[in-house]
């Protein structure tokens, strides 16, 4: 049992005494077991626990090692459920595999899913490089490493039963993570720490040797959106099309633009829709049918956009889209599922109050930046949530479904074919719609403030927030260089000074962040994870760096080179072309935004960056946010940073 303030959960870990080099097929078989249990759609845990809402976030995870391996199960309890009740539910899924309580089609579908996911994974050069690293670490010959798919294809239902019976018995430990105070903590005396000089200008012999190795200069390749993306339409709906010439996978997306401050019912809606069946399929059957086709669908909401995505094997694109459209048109309300979602939603809200990260970065930061309701507190009130009906949720969905939206397609299908298939199957009557965009209101502080929330822990979480100017797209290149130099990486000024030299933080970062929307202002955000008795020193150190940014010619040169080389080595391809295009448009660019960054950074001097820092960062009113124990924080020292105010969880969470 582990005690702590965070939400309760359970973790079960099996130790498997098998060496990967001695049995190269073992890790593939273990991956097969993991995907039989959780594959995001039709695994036993996906359907029996998550879809059935008998657990929250149930998962299985395979961890193959060179000497021995592990297999992990875990979940969070639903409302009113104990960890003791959750444990057998997880273990029973292993028993189901042992006893063969699964259909033969699932084995074949998992094989196809693995082929597809591997194909998708190896679109990334990083994933290809990681594969070489894994093979080396495990001591596998490359030809043995590539036997994964063959091993999957040879696995039968009987093989799965035998594997589970042999390797999964009583060789596991169960960890209960409970809410409470750990009375067994061993404390040590705080040592005296002296600042270490930071030799930013020095270069070791090893550094010189590495950087003397000649390497070909990479030139940046920027995306020509006019050539890469075809703009068309399907009936009255705009279409963005890009052909996939790499493999046989497609992604189709319907996307609706929402208000920045959208109706919070949409957030619950995307969760609820995933639990609904149709007139011809139950929710579980629907997941299974898509999995058989090697396809999947999802509902997603973020910022001011709600989308429905369908992806998978192009050969099954028409069948999958027909199934999706049919299920959307004939969704069957499920009051029991909605009631469980309500209970889980309320439990999650309660659990969030025990997470120091959510308290600091979402609730407290939202309170500091916004007037009134903010993106974190824009939720359905509990009283209204409890009375919300399935019919009300679905009526809101169908009203949205008939609003104008765009279609995005990336895949090997020809444009003419895609237009024909979508035009035939996407039978929706688009109704006229217009609205005045609802946005959030930001605070404009004129003085410094300190907001703190009590949280029983030895450490303290600190966030310094400063509002700067409203969005100006021309600042984006300056921002990139400033972040690289000042506080956005382990080689930055803030990291070197605050952590490496003065040991004032175990984690530290300071960035000037790009707004998501042009209607949002720029903010400077500086995070310090430190000990409660070091808050005063840490704040002095961070504020001094922000206000009086030190100059280092070598660090500046390296920062500029880092940005230029990163852009030069980047290749925006495939589906990313469409997402980057959308991002560029949102920021006011019709061309690849990276070109503006590259061209500007190439000619920037330290004085340019200094001018940027002094104009948009230095001297701005700041709000200091602190999460820590009132027993360990020196409040007398905090008053020098601004008016100190304690906030309750109810004030910052809104409930």
- In this predicted model, what pLDDT tens digit does every residue of 558-580 receive, in sequence order? 999 999 999 999 999 999 999 99
Cα Rg of the chain, angstroms: 27
Give 439-449 pLDDT, tens digit per residue: 899 999 999 99
**C-alpha–C-alpha distance, residues 502 and 511, integer Å:** 20
Q: Collapsing DSSP states into helix, strand and coil, what is residue 256? A: strand
Considering the segment(s) 2-179 as one domain, its CATH architecture is 2-Layer Sandwich (3.30)
Mean pLDDT of 223-233: 97
Predicted confidence at residue 491, as pLDDT, reads: 83
Mean pLDDT of 177-198: 76
Predicted confidence at residue 198, as pLDDT, reads: 67
Predicted confidence at residue 141, as pLDDT, reads: 87
Helix boundaries (H) for 99-145: 104-121, 125-138, 142-145
Mean pLDDT of 152-169: 92
pLDDT reading at 323 higher than 70: yes
Q: Please, which pLDDT band fits residue 404 given cuts at 50, 70 and 90?
A: very high
Please answer whether residues 89 and 76 qualify as being in contact, where contact means their C-beta atoms are separated by less than 8 angstroms. Answer: no
Average pLDDT, the chain: 92
| CATH 3.30.830.10 domain span(s) along the chain | 2-179, 225-425, 444-653
pLDDT reading at 188 higher than 80: no
Mean pLDDT of 402-408: 96
Predicted confidence at residue 366, as pLDDT, reads: 97
CB atoms near residue 307 (< 10 Å)? 17
Predicted confidence at residue 47, as pLDDT, reads: 92
Give 362-401 pLDDT, tens digit per residue: 999 999 999 999 999 999 999 999 999 999 999 999 999 9
Protein fold of 444-653:
Cytochrome Bc1 Complex; Chain A, domain 1 (3.30.830)
pLDDT reading at 200 higher than 70: no
Predicted confidence at residue 76, as pLDDT, reads: 94
Q: What CA dihedral angle connects 579, 287, 273 and 650, to 10 degrees?
A: -80
Q: Which residues pair with 622 in a beta bridge?
A: 466
Q: Which residues contact 293 (CB under 8 A, 6 or more apart)?
A: 312, 313, 316, 319, 320, 323
pLDDT reading at 341 higher than 90: yes
pLDDT reading at 20 higher than 90: no
Predicted confidence at residue 189, as pLDDT, reads: 72
Higher pLDDT, 125 or 541: 541
Mean pLDDT of 514-530: 94
The dotted CATH code for 225-425 is 3.30.830.10
Residue with tokens 């009740």: 85
Q: Report the relative pairing of strands 172-179 and 9-16 from DSSP bridges.
A: antiparallel
Least confident of 67-76, 138-147, 453-462: 138-147
The token pair at 461 is 């979480």
Predicted confidence at residue 648, as pLDDT, reads: 96
Give 249-306 pLDDT, tens digit per residue: 999 999 999 998 899 999 999 999 999 999 999 999 999 999 999 999 999 998 889 9
């Amino acid at each position: 049992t582990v005690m702590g303030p965070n939400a309760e959960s359970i973790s079960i870990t099996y130790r498997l005494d098998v060496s990967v080099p001695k049995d190269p097929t073992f890790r593939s078989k273990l991956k097969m077991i993991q995907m039989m249990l959780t594959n995001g759609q039709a695994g036993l845990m996906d359907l029996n626990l998550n879809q059935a809402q008998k657990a929250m976030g149930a998962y299985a995870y395979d961890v193959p090692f060179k000497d021995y391996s592990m297999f992990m199960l875990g979940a969070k309890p639903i409302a009113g459920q104990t960890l003791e009740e959750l444990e057998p539910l997880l273990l029973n899924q292993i028993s189901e595999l042992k006893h063969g309580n699964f259909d033969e089609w699932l084995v074949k579908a998992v094989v196809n899913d693995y082929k597809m996911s591997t194909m998708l994974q190896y679109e990334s050069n990083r994933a290809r490089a990681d594969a070489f690293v894994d093979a080396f670490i495990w001591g596998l010959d490359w030809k043995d490493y590539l036997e994964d798919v063959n091993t999957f294809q040879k696995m039968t239902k009987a093989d799965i039963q035998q594997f589970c019976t042999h390797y999964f018995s009583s060789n596991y430990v169960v960890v209960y993570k409970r809410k409470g105070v750990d009375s067994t903590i061993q404390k040590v005396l705080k040592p005296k720490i002296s600042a270490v000089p930071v030799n930013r200008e020095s270069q070791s012999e090893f550094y010189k040797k590495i950087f003397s190795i000649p390497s070909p200069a990479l030139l940046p390749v920027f995306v020509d959106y006019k050539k890469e993306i075809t703009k068309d339409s399907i009936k009255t709906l705009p279409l963005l099309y890009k052909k996939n010439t790499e493999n046989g996978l497609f992604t189709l997306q319907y996307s609706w633009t929402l208000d920045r401050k959208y109706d919070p019912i949409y957030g619950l809606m995307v969760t609820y829709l995933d639990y609904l069946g149709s007139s011809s399929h139950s929710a579980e059957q629907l997941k299974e049918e898509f999995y058989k086709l090697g396809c999947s669908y999802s509902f997603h909401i973020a910022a001011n956009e709600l989308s429905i995505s369908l992806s998978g094997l192009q050969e099954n694109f028409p069948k999958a889209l027909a199934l999706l459209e049919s299920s959307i048109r004939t969704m069957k309300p499920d009051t029991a599922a909605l009631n469980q979602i309500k209970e889980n939603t309320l439990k999650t809200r309660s659990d969030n109050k025990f997470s120091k990260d959510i308290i600091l970065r979402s609730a407290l930061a939202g309170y500091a930046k916004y007037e009134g309701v903010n993106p974190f507190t824009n939720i359905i009130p509990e009283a209204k949530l409890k009375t919300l009906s399935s019919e009300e949720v679905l009526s809101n969905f169908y009203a949205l479904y008939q609003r104008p939206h765009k279609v995005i397609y990336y895949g090997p299908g020809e444009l003419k074919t895609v237009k024909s298939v979508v035009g035939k199957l996407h039978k929706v009557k688009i109704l006229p719609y217009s609205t005045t965009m609802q946005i959030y209101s930001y605070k404009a502080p004129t003085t410094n403030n300190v907001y703190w929330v009590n949280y029983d822990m030895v450490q303290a979480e600190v966030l310094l927030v400063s509002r700067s100017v409203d969005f100006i797209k021309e600042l984006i290149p300056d921002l990139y260089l400033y972040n690289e130099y000042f506080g956005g990486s382990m080689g930055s000024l803030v990291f070197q000074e605050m952590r490496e030299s003065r040991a004032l933080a175990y984690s530290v970062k300071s960035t000037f962040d790009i707004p998501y929307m042009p209607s949002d202002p720029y903010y400077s955000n500086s995070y310090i994870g430190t000990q409660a008795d070091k808050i005063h020193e840490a704040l002095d150190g961070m504020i001094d760096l922000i206000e009086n940014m030190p100059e280092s010619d070598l660090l500046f040169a390296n920062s500029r080179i880092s940005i230029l080389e990163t852009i030069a080595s980047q290749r925006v391809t495939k589906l990313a072309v469409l997402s980057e295009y959308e991002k560029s448009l949102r920021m006011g660019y019709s061309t690849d935004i990276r070109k503006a960054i590259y061209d500007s950074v190439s000619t920037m001097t330290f004085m340019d960056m200094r001018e940027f820092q002094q104009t948009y960062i230095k001297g701005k009113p700041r709000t200091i946010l602190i999460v820590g124990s009132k027993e360990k924080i020196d409040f007398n020292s905090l008053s020098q940073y601004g008016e100190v105010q304690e906030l309750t969880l109810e004030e910052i969470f809104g409930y």
